[in-house]
Structure formats: structure tokens, C-alpha cells
Structure 1
Amino acid sequence: MSYSEMMAYVRETTALGQVAGRLGWDQETMMPRGAAPQRGEESAAMAAVLHARSTDPRLGAWLENVTPADEVEAAQMRLVRRGYERAVKVPADLASEIARVTSQSQGIWAEARANDDFKSFVQTFENVVRLKREEGAALADGGDVYDAMLQDYEPGANAQRLSGMFDAMRPKLVELRDRVLASAQPPALTGLFDEAKQLQVSTLLAQTFGYDLTHGRIDKAVHPFSSGSGLDVRITTRTAPQDPFNCFYSTIHEVGHACYEQNIDRAYLMTPVGSGASMGVHESQSRIYENQLGRSRAFTGWLFGQMRDTFGDFGVADEEAFYRTVNRVQNGFIRTEADEVQYNLHVMLRFDLERALIAGDLQVADLEAAWNDRFKADFGYDVDRVSNGVLQDVHWPVGLFGYFATYTLGNVYAGCLYQALRRDVADLDAQLAKGNTSGATGWLRRNVQTYGGLFEPEALIVRAAGEVSEAPLLGYLEEKFGAFC
């Protein structure tokens, strides 16, 4: 038994996983609504095939008998072992049923969200939660179920440590938010912004940040996302006639994810190391592209000129006013539209509620009320409708429990990386002011993206930035938004 034989098998499995991912991309972008039940069966069939390959006894034999020759082979085997040991704990029929139910749940959730009707989704979601609890218990093997779920998205993370980090961040974020909101805020944009022109600027932004459209494409979706790796990495965005920033910054965010995948060393293509290290590291790339770079004073000065060229006079006087408008802090219900100060408060709400759901301390039928109560306590006003509340995100309907924490962890990682980036790229602001992101994106490519999954998540960030701590993020937010008070 040889390493090359094992990797040939793993590459075939990875290829099938990419095909399964393409089914998900199609479901979000182009699939006719009436195809949902059939797509559920297709997804279940693919999950069964992938589970069978991921638990094949030959993998166990290879892992037992093959000795890695170098750092890369050791990393490949580490990731193969992690996947194998997790897969063998989950019964094949459970893996297939989860894929079928969550695929169908997505369509039912979308309809419930459109109708602002949580009750119509309760029975379906109860089934999702039941199946995911069962899977989590199998993975935990007597340990903490939620911690076992976290490993799918952030290997090495645990809820106790994350909770401590979030508890340290929350009061400082709340204090900063209250201070900023007590000050005068710039007005929001007014008027209508043509969709075709929004998408034109969106494409320009994608290319400005290094997205390779010969190996990708941009489509529209209700909830923007990035899909794929290697030579086929696709993103989606969305448009709103009165809010072009929704389109622009959704695009930059997803480009951060996509460039991570596109910039991984091609020697790792179609292997476990050929994908991002974790969802937290992935989120660090999307958030640093979107916020520290895309919402910086230097870059928004350049973007102001692009908007004026595209839309004419759109009611903002100059570059400084535009910078303030882009970074406007305001009340709102939607996590993906939240400003940098309040975004992590939205994540922390979800983190606590999903832990209670998985533990059985909170029942699905009570989730809407629990969400509304927690939102009122955290943000100070009532949720006006369920599509702005518990039904706004697709993650829980498709079974992604343990995922939300990685959004804030990604912000923490981004804060650490940005501190190191500014230290190493002395003329960063001068470059960004010209719409030139290559200094920043090149630094991220060399220090984070090229490695893929070669290193464990926290080790990768420490290697690039020297530390993992919430302090750089909090310092960045205070320096930026404290100046608005």
C-alpha cells in the first residue's frame, strides 16, 4: 500500500465532492423551484456515495500502513485521517437522510421566510435539529456534542474558549456602539441605483481584488455565497435598488472567500490540503477584504470616483462624506447588512441560541420567541417580522450548526492579520487610494492563502500574524469608529 495509491483514491472522492457542491450552487442560483424534491433525492444519493468512499476500509489500512515522507504528505494524511475518523462514526443511512432533509428544508425555509411564517417551518426544522443532534452525538462519542459539531468548521475550537472570547468582546462592542449611535450619523443613500450598473461596478470590484473570472463567475442569490475550489470557484451577490452597497460589499466579501481558494498552491489541487484551513480562516479573508480594505478611507476614496463615473451625482458631496456613509452605524435586523461595530453581536446571539437548541434546552417551537427576546435585550428594539428575525439566515435550515461562531472568529483572525499587514506593507493606504489592492492581497496570498490546509487554523494565523487575540480587532474598531463620536 502506497501514499500515491491513497491520494489517487482521495482525489476521486474530492472530485465527487466538488460535483455535490455544484448541485448546491445550482440550487441557489438556477434550479427551478419545483425541482426541490428531486434535488433532495439527488443530494441524498451523492451523500451516500461520498459517505461510502469516506468510510472505505482501504482508507483505514492506508492510514495504518503509510508513512508520510514530508510536511505536505503529513498534512494530507492528517486531514484524510480526520475525515475518515469522523465519517466512520456516522451511519450511512443517517448521512444520506441528513442530505435529503436539509436539501428539501432549504426550499421550505425560503417559502416560510417569504411569507413571514415561522410556524410553517417548525415541523421541518424539528426534523433537521433531530437529525443533527443524532449526528453530533455520534461524532462526540460520549463527549460534548456541540464541540464535536464545531470541528466540521473550525478544527481545534471548543465552545468554552469561544464563549470566553465572546464574553470579553461583547461589553466593549456594546459600549462603542452606544457611543457612536449617540453621535450624529451621516444620512443613508437616497434614490434608485440601476441593477445593471450595480453589477457592472460589482464585476469591477471583483477583478480589482484579484478574482480570476476565467476560473469563476458571478451570479445572483438571495444569500450571497462562494462555492468550489481550485480551477472552478464561483460567487454570488445580490442587488437592491436603493442600496448599492449591499451588492458591492457582498461581492467583495465573497471574493475574499473565492480568492483564498483560487490562490492555494496548485500542487494541492483536488486534495484535502487544496482547500481552506477552516471556516474561521476563510472568514478572515472575506472580512479583511470587505472591511479593513474595502471600507477603508483610502479605498472608499477610489470607490467614490467609480460610483460617480457610473451613476453620476448620487447625492454624496465628497470622498470623506462617502467614507462616513459607507461606514454608517445604524440600527438594523439583518446580520449580513450590519456595520462592523454591531456585526459580532448578531453572531453571538446565534451562537448562544444554537448551543441551547443542540443541548435540548431550547425547543424549535420556542425558538422564534427566544430569538425575539434575546434580540430585544441585545439591541434594544423589537423584531418587526420573522424574515428579519429567526428566518433570515439559511444556515440552520440546511443543518450548519457550529458554523456561526466562525464568523466572529474570522473577524478576530482578520484583526490580527490586518495589524501584521499594516506593519509589513508601509504604503498600503497610498496603494488603496489608487484602487490597487495588490500589496494587501499579495501579502495575504503569500502568508495565508497559498498554504490551503497545510497548517492547523490557529497555527496558520500565528505563523502569519504572531498571535490570536481579540485585542487587535477591538483596537481597530475603536480607532476607526471612535473617531466618529
Structure 2
Amino acid sequence: MRASDAFSELCGHFRQVTALSQVSGLLSWDQETMMPERGAELRSEQCAAVESAIHRLRSDPRIPDWAAAIDPKTLDPAGCVTLREAVRAHRRATRIPAALAEEIARVTALSQGIWARARAARRFADFAPSLGRIVALRREEADCIAEPGQSRYDALLEDYEPGMTTAVLSPLLTGMRPRLTALAERVAQSGHVAPRLEGRFPKEAQMELARRVAGTLGYDWSAGRLDLSVHPFSSGTGGDARITTRVVESDPLNCLYSTIHEVGHACYEQGIDPALALSPAGRWASMGVHESQSRLFENQIGRSRAFCEWLFPQMRAVFGDIGLTGPDALHAAVNRVETGFIRTESDEVHYNLHILLRFELEQALISGALAVEDVEEAWNAAFLRDFHRPVTDPADGVLQDVHWSVGLFGYFPTYSLGNILAGELFAALRAAVPTLDADLARGDASAALGWLRRNVHVHGSLKPPMTLVADATGHAPRSGALLDYLETKFAGLYGL
């Protein structure tokens, strides 16, 4: 077979893989937003069927023959990524029995509803059997795909953070703990009390504001939509990048900043070069890079003093009196630091401590060092150690996140890695766009989005994730920029 024919066959084959993966994503989106409750069992079979088809395509015996016929030197960068990822996907797929892939899809689809009901009932015991099955399946999968000498956890981490290992990641993340805990203690001892919003915040008004803010930050409404879900998320890519949020009528900041977070994810997906669509190069570089976009939008932009200058009158226009005197008071309110239980509602000072807790627990679960029946007790003990508050409600503890119910082991640490990368990228963005504060104060995020488009979004996965960030910032990523940003910001807000 000629090399050109082999490459054409390979590209066409993986367009089908990508398209079916996106269909799977749409099924999951529908399950979280629109599907009637009784549809869960049928949806689990649908997800299993799609996963089975994807698995067959990825393990197609023709892939090694196509790859052997292709000379990588003749390919452009996108072609090289396609070839590399095709070989990688085939290697991993052929190691996973089709029945195992189907069972993982089936069990995780069913477990989402079980988790949601257990969370509503506030009983971990109702979810524990499903979690036990998921952990067992993920361990089995990890044993299938792990390279010689690779841990189970690193094998699973590879799907979210290509090339990363816990040997590199753990010191990077745990190394932040001393400065984070010291900053949290200094804030707690400052005696400063940040203001709170007061007023009436109806659901319709919150959604109106969420849509207004999303559009202001650059979300393309012709390529997306906003819906409600139990746990906010972003789904899709290119011309169909959807987001969800949630509404708590007593707390409009929950809806607002959940939306901004998901807008960061969606703007990344909307900004990938359309020429890369349906190819392996047309996906995100890594989940750490993806989270860097959502966290940068949510925190460095959305919680900045400059953005609050624009946001304050918008909130007044939608809600009326919100109990705050102006943009300075809003800036203090949206950056309020307090020891809370919920990760998604956590302030920037405590957020990474939430992730470290989950990172350590899920490593222990996957390795077998922690039994599922002991995870609630282990969670509560770790939370008391790090946050000095006892967990009395599992909905505020081990049941609060959807991730384990859908089998996303290896995903949590990418949140903190994303924060680290956001710190690096924001420092470079500020240097490149000296008018940034003035722009944001008048509700103009175009220069910021343009810089991110050029330096991050458009490249898809053409560059390895750490290379992508290093090229944008001029050096290898490290945690110093994030920690410096946090200490400077909260020292000013809390008079430290």
C-alpha cells in the first residue's frame, strides 16, 4: 500500500473514532440535562453500544499495517499527531477486552443516577456498592494498559495528562501545601470580614446575568448553549461547545462563577483550529491545559478588581440592590475566604487543598491501599486535618463530586495543575496586554481572549502540554507564579 493511501485510510478511520466519541459526549450531556429519570437503564445500554463501536475501531487490526506504511518524515505536524495517537490508541485498546470497555461504559452510566440519589439522600452507603464496582473496573483497566513498571494510577492519568507521572506531579502539587496553609492561616487570623451579597436573586435573573457575562467573555452563542445540571460541566467542541451551570437562589455567585468557569473551557474548544476538526490533533492538549483556561477565566479574570468594575452595574441592573456599595465591595465579596466544605464553591486560597485531598485518596483507592468501605472515614479524617472542620454530612464530603461516579480516576489532579498553568499564563498575558485592566473594566475581554487563542487554543494538541505552556510563557511551568499571585492578591484584600 502506498504511504499516501495508508495515511488517508488512517485519517478517515480516526475521523469515525472522533465522531463517535463526540456522540458519546452528547449522550452524557443529555443524561445530565434533559433525559427523564427512567431513561437511565436504557442510556447505560446505549453508552455501552457506542463504547463498543469505538473500541472496535481503535483496535482495528489494519491500524498497525497503515502505520507501518507511513513515513513520518512526509507528514506535517497534524499528521504526525494523528499517526502517534493512532498507534497509542490502538496499543491501549487492544490491551482492554471489549467486554471490559462495554462494562465500564454501562456501569458508569448507571452509577451517575445512583450517586445523585445518594447525594440527595445524604447516604454514602447507598453509593458505596457502585463505587466499589467502578474502582474494581478501573483497577482492571489499569492493569491491562499499564506499561512495564508503570503504576495503575499513572496508567489512568495518561488519558487526561499525556506524559505526566505522579513522580513529577506529586511534588509539584504537594509542594504548594506549606505556602497555601500558611496563607489560609494568615487570612483567618487577620480579623477582616469580607462583605456578602444581600437581596433577592431569582433563577431567571441569575440565568440572564450568566448569559450576559458568558457573551462578554467571548463565548460564541452560535456554537453553544447554556443549560442547568446538578454539577456544572462543559461538553463538545468547535461549532457545538455546550456549557451548564446551577442555580442557588440565595447565592448568585454560585451560578455566576460556575458559568464563567465553564465558559473558559468552552472558549478553548471553540478556539481550536477548525482545520483540525475530527482529527486527533483537534482535541485539547491535556486536561491540565483545559483547566488552566477555566480557572484563568474564573479567577484571574472573573474575580479581578477590573472585571468587578464592569460586573457591579450589571448585577445591579439584573437584581437591583445587592447590599454592596460598589465595585470594591463586590471585589471583596467575590474573593471572600472561608473554610467551606464544597470544592466548587471554594475560594482560591483553599481550592488546591481540596484537590490534594482527592488526589491522595484516589491514588490509595486505585492502588488498593484504601478500601471503598473505608473511603468516607478517610475523607473525613483528611478534611479535618487540612481544614480543621469535621464533616457531618456526606453530601458536603465524599458525595459532593460527580467524578468518581463516572470513573474519572486521574482527573482531579489536573485541576491543581490547571491552576499552576493558569498562574503562568496569566503572568504572560498581563505582560503582553498592558491595557488588560482597562479593557476588563469596560467589559472588553477581546484582547485577553485573542492572546489565549493565539498561544493556547488554536494549537489543539499539536504541541505537548508542557511545551505549549512553555512556548507561551518563555519557561517550563512551575508553581511560583500562582502562589505569588495568591499571596499578593489576598494580602491586599485582607490587609496582611
* Structure 1 unaligned regions, length at least 5: none
Whether contact under 8 Å (2:199, 2:321) holds in the other structure is: no
Q: Which residue matches 1:373? A: 381
Q: In the TM superposition, what is the alpha-carbon distance from 1:213 to its structure 2 partner?
A: 1.0
1:297 pairs with one of 294, 305, 309: 305
Q: Which residue matches 1:265? A: 273
2:168 pairs with one of 145, 161, 167: 161
Q: Which residue matches 1:138? A: 144
Q: CA offsets, 1:66-85, max 9 Å, x none?
A: 12422221122122222222
Write the distance in 2 (CA, Å) between the matches of 1:141 and 1:451.
28
Q: Which residue matches 1:71? A: 77
Letter in 1 for 2:363: R
Letter in 1 for 2:182: E
Q: Which residue matches 1:229? A: 237
2:222 pairs with one of 211, 214, 217: 214
1:25 pairs with one of 21, 26, 29: 29
Indicate the RMSD between aligned Cα atoms, in angstroms. Answer: 1.0
Write the distance in 2 (CA, Å) between the matches of 1:144 and 1:64.
29
1:480 pairs with one of 460, 484, 489: 489
Write the distance in 2 (CA, Å) between the matches of 1:122 and 1:432.
46
Q: CA offsets, 1:286-309, max 9 Å, x none?
A: 000111011100001110110011
Q: In the TM superposition, what is the alpha-carbon distance from 1:205 to its structure 2 partner?
A: 0.9
Write the distance in 2 (CA, Å) between the matches of 1:469 and 1:208.
31
Q: Which residue matches 2:319? A: 311
Whether contact under 8 Å (1:189, 1:242) holds in the other structure is: no
Q: Which residue matches 1:386? A: 394
Q: In the TM superposition, what is the alpha-carbon distance from 1:375 to its structure 2 partner?
A: 0.2
* Structure 2 unaligned regions, length at least 5: none
Letter in 2 for 1:179: R
Write the distance in 2 (CA, Å) between the matches of 1:141 and 1:38.
35
Write the distance in 2 (CA, Å) between the matches of 1:155 and 1:141.
14
Q: CA offsets, 1:231-271, max 9 Å, x none?
A: 11111011111111111111111011001011101100111
Q: Which residue matches 1:287? A: 295
Letter in 1 for 2:184: R
Write the distance in 2 (CA, Å) between the matches of 1:288 and 1:76.
29
Q: What percent of counterpart residues are identical?
A: 52
Q: Which residue matches 1:181? A: 188
Q: In the TM superposition, what is the alpha-carbon distance from 1:91 to its structure 2 partner?
A: 0.9
Q: In the TM superposition, what is the alpha-carbon distance from 1:188 to its structure 2 partner?
A: 2.2
SS in 2 for 1:2: helix
1:468 pairs with one of 467, 477, 484: 477
Write the distance in 1 (CA, Å) between the matches of 2:15 and 2:453.
24
The question of 1:126 aligning with 2:151 is answered no
Whether contact under 8 Å (2:195, 2:332) holds in the other structure is: no
Q: Which residue matches 1:2? A: 6
Q: In the TM superposition, what is the alpha-carbon distance from 1:311 to its structure 2 partner?
A: 1.3
Write the distance in 1 (CA, Å) between the matches of 2:215 and 2:434.
23
Letter in 1 for 2:479: E
SS in 1 for 2:134: helix
Q: Which residue matches 1:44? A: 48
Q: Which residue matches 1:326? A: 334
Whether contact under 8 Å (1:230, 1:274) holds in the other structure is: no
Q: CA offsets, 1:25-54, max 9 Å, x none?
A: 000000111111111111111110100001
2:158 pairs with one of 142, 146, 151: 151
Q: Which residue matches 1:441? A: 449
1:411 pairs with one of 419, 439, 457: 419
| Equivalences, count | 485
1:241 pairs with one of 245, 249, 252: 249
Q: In the TM superposition, what is the alpha-carbon distance from 1:5 to its structure 2 partner?
A: 1.8
Write the distance in 2 (CA, Å) between the matches of 1:351 and 1:286.
19
Write the distance in 2 (CA, Å) between the matches of 1:449 and 1:83.
23
TM-score normalised according to structure 1 size? 0.99
